[in-house]
Amino acid sequence: MYLLENNVDQSKVLRTTTPNESVLNVTKSYLPNKKKYQAYIDRIFDSHSLTNRGPLSQELEQRLAEYLGVKHLLLVSNGTMALHVAYRLLGLRGEVITSPFSFAATSSSLVWEKLKPIYTDICSKSFNLNPRNIVSSITERTSAIVPVHVFGNACAVDDISQIAKEHGLKVIYDAAHAFNVRGPSKSLFEYGDISTLSLHATKMFHTVEGGALVFNDADLYEQAKALINFGIDSTGTIAPLGINAKMSEFHAAMGLCVLDDIDIITEQRKKLVTQYRINFGGRLQLQLRNSDFTDNYAYLPVVFPNVVIRQAVELALGAESINPRRYFSPSLNEVYAPYQSMPNSQSLSERVLCLPLYPGLSKRDVLRVTNIIHRTLDRF
Ligand SMILES: *Cc1c(COP(=O)(O)O)cnc(C)c1O
């Protein structure tokens, strides 16, 4: 729309692209105060530093590390690239055990890196990998485990650490959903060798496009800094392996603005999730949260008793311009390993819907959604 603005009648563009007020999508990207963003853009124009780990990226890295309570955090261009970089840094090969219940990027990144995703089934209550299933999937070709803290629900991290230690495996957590989830003594991001984050516009904290890696090991962090800059380190030495995965200053500027508001964003999400739970009154299955870790209220998945009811609910909501999303469907084994069957993940994928949840949604909106769901359930 912006590219076309010289050729197109702007009023028409606006009329056709401004969403109807009553449309409720699963999410709505958070936008901070425009003047504040403008002030950062002015700084970029003054400094003429547009990218290459400029002052704003470094400021965002520092502020994020401090906010999240982690030591080594590196910003990258997106969450998928964070996964690619993590696999390369840790030298993965052969088979990697991962969750079938995730966004495509968790597995597509493995396949792109010529690694073989080995799925093990999830727990149908937590939606996360079941540690017992992980153990039975380990072979002599296994090099790592890539669990997902799905919808921000912390995995069984202590069990996974134990398994990894016993079998000499690396652990990379796809923590794309787990922004600011904390355990009793530390950030969830400090478990495993590396945690990767997505800072995409649809995530609760975002930089439009963006991602991050969190390391426990300082050396790995230094290597990663060079790896994402074509393999060129601070002395100018070029390593044989490198890629361009840098974040630009314009993206970092958005992150700095959104980070100022993150506590308000979280608080609003919490209120809405609480409202949903009250309105449902225990009538629907919700995700069983790992109570050792905090909730970040990033998503609101609900599980229906069967496919027919899920379809009916989707239809009823759609008729009122309410657009939940089937996160995640299909179960990834159906795409990347069709010979494998994952009953829990496949069953969940057929029955789950993520409902609208974002700052700016009102309690009345939540009531609208839950009333339609109740009315639909009454028919069965
Ligand atoms: C969003 C997401 C990604 C990919 O992140 P991008 O920043 O969009 O590349 C990876 N894994 C999961 C689980 C995600 O939800």
Ramachandran class of 258: left when φ > 0, alpha when ψ lies in -120 to 50, beta otherwise? alpha
Q: How far is the CA of 7 from the centre of ligand 1 (A)?
A: 35
Q: How far is the CA of 243 from the centre of ligand 1 (A)?
A: 19
pLDDT band at 21 (very low <50, low <70, confident <90, very high): low
Q: Check pocket membership of 176 for ligand 1, CB cut-off 6 A.
A: yes
pLDDT band at 103 (very low <50, low <70, confident <90, very high): very high
Distance of alpha carbon 158 from alpha carbon 293, whole angstroms: 12
Q: Whose CA is nearest to atom 7 of ligand 1?
A: 79
Mean pLDDT of 32-55: 97
Ranges of beta strands (E only) in 210-273 are: 211-215
CB of 129 closer than 8 Å to CB of 122 = yes
CB of 11 closer than 8 Å to CB of 1 = no
Q: Check pocket membership of 198 for ligand 1, CB cut-off 6 A.
A: yes
Which atom, in ligand 1's list, is nearest to the CA of 150?
A: 13
Alpha carbon 339 to its chain's center: 27
Residues in contact with 83: Cβ distance below 8 Å, sequence separation at least 6, in sequence order: 105, 106, 109, 110, 146, 172, 174, 196
Q: Check pocket membership of 106 for ligand 1, CB cut-off 6 A.
A: yes
pLDDT band at 22 (very low <50, low <70, confident <90, very high): confident
Mean pLDDT of 269-295: 97
Q: How far is the CA of 178 from the centre of ligand 1 (A)?
A: 11
| pLDDT mean across residues, the chain | 94
Mean pLDDT of 249-265: 98
Distance of alpha carbon 33 from alpha carbon 243, whole angstroms: 34
* Range in 20-29, 102-111, 319-328 with the lowest mean pLDDT: 20-29
Q: Check pocket membership of 211 for ligand 1, CB cut-off 6 A.
A: yes
pLDDT in tens, 352-376: 999 999 999 999 999 999 999 999 9
pLDDT exceeds cutoff 50 at 130: yes
Distance of alpha carbon 236 from alpha carbon 231, whole angstroms: 9
pLDDT band at 12 (very low <50, low <70, confident <90, very high): very low
Q: How far is residue 164 from each of residues 57, 76, 169, 294, 375, measured CA to CA in Å?
A: 33, 26, 5, 24, 47
Q: Check pocket membership of 102 for ligand 1, CB cut-off 6 A.
A: yes
pLDDT exceeds cutoff 70 at 19: no
Q: Residue 234 corresponds to which tokens in the numbers above?
A: 């601070």
Among 27, 81, 103, 296, which residue has the most ligand 1 atoms within 8 Å of its CB, making it the best to mutate? Answer: 103
- Among candidates 328, 330, 348, 336, which has minimal Cα distance to 119? 336
Distance of alpha carbon 176 from alpha carbon 202, whole angstroms: 11
Q: Check pocket membership of 200 for ligand 1, CB cut-off 6 A.
A: yes
pLDDT exceeds cutoff 70 at 13: no
**Could you give the domains of the chain?**
5-30+261-377 (3.90.1150.10), 34-256 (3.40.640.10)
pLDDT exceeds cutoff 90 at 10: no
Q: Whose CA is nearest to atom 6 of ligand 1?
A: 79
pLDDT in tens, 138-176: 999 999 999 999 999 999 999 999 999 999 999 999 999
Question: In this structure, is the dihedral angle defined by the CA atoms of residues 357, 69, 127 and 96, taken in order, positive or negative?
Answer: positive
- Other Cβ atoms less than 10 A from the Cβ of 315: the count is 10
Which atom, in ligand 1's list, is nearest to the CA of 211?
A: 7
Question: In this structure, is the dihedral angle defined by the CA atoms of residues 148, 268, 364 and 291, taken in order, positive or negative?
Answer: positive
What is the arrangement of strands in the sheet containing 352-354, beginning at the earlier edge strand?
Answer: 285-286, 301-303, 352-354
SS3 246: coil
Distance of alpha carbon 371 from alpha carbon 374, whole angstroms: 5
Q: What are phi and psi of 196, to 5 degrees?
A: -110, 140
pLDDT exceeds cutoff 60 at 380: yes
- Among candidates 267, 300, 275, which has minimal Cα distance to 180? 267
